[in-house]
Copies of this chain bind each other. A is one copy, B any other.
């Protein structure tokens, strides 16, 4: 292993896993644009590693469908399409409904308590959303994850995570100007309140209906912004 890095890094997983995180971030946030060629020389330069860890990270992103590989012509960022966006959002909604249905069946006191805790942390940050949108996104995500985790199925939660990432990419790419329309935001916050109520009342049908709308309405918004 090379010298310069061993001393600097505390938790030294291999380089590939470090690169994986950064590269994924760069694709999700649109630093590397959809369809863009991923030149090895460029990646080497940017992440300061050799080719081997890079190819390992790219191999993993290949499975997650964030990059594509062309026979002997290297890697590209996975292209985007309106059609794929809609498919991802529809599937995501289906999976989330599934998680919520199971969570309502299986969730215990701690599940309920954790939802309320995460909801609180999210709401506390509602005013500062302008200040740090990414921190709000983190808390928003934590809230929804707390709900889904009640399903107690690692396998299902893994699927959910993967779909969240793919959806996040479209959100980041198409809502480039962080449009936080106050009306939309208030509607969203209302969704959250109604959702928590439905969950605590174990009203599965209502909760599923709310989450469905909550997840699909952004996709309809995105759909307008993008002609394909």
Contacts and interface: CB of A to CB of B under 8 A. Distances in A.
Interface residues of A, number: 33
A154 B87 contact: yes
A94 B87 contact: no
B88 A155 contact: yes
The dominant DSSP class at the A interface is helix
A95 to B, nearest CB: 8
A179 B141 CA distance: 46
Contacts of A62: 60
13 contacts: A12-B72, A52-B52, A65-B158, A84-B154, A84-B155, A87-B153, A88-B155, A90-B153, A90-B155, A91-B159, A94-B98, A155-B166, A159-B159
Interface of A: 12-14, 16, 52, 55-57, 59-60, 62-65, 69, 71-72, 84, 87-88, 90-91, 94-95, 98, 153-156, 158-159, 163, 166
